[in-house]
Amino acid sequence: MLERFPVLFPAVVNSAIDLAEAIRLVAEVVGNQALAFELLKAHKAGGFGGDGYEALGL
């Protein structure tokens, strides 16, 4: 996946990111921050990434 979306590389390094950084990274792929935030919320609501989203405060 990193080959297709190299902007996501910072999300897979061994350091924590905050919610603002997560939104910024997703926005690089989907086009804007509002859509990125909605996408993250929908992903969480779908049962994915529970611990990660909890750590982000989402």
- pLDDT tens-place string over residues 14-25: 677 889 988 998
Cα–Cα distance, 21 to 18 (Å, whole number):
5
CB 36 within 8 A of CB 23: yes
What digits encode the pLDDT tens for the residues 21-37?
889 989 988 999 999 99
**CA pair distance 36, 2, nearest whole angstrom:** 18
What pLDDT is stored for residue 27 in this prediction?
95
Degrees, nearest 5: CA angle 35-13-4:
55
| Calpha distance 8→1 (Å, rounded) | 9
Tokens of 33: 């921050």
* Average pLDDT in the chain: 85
Residue 3 in this model has a pLDDT that exceeds 80: no
pLDDT at 11: 66
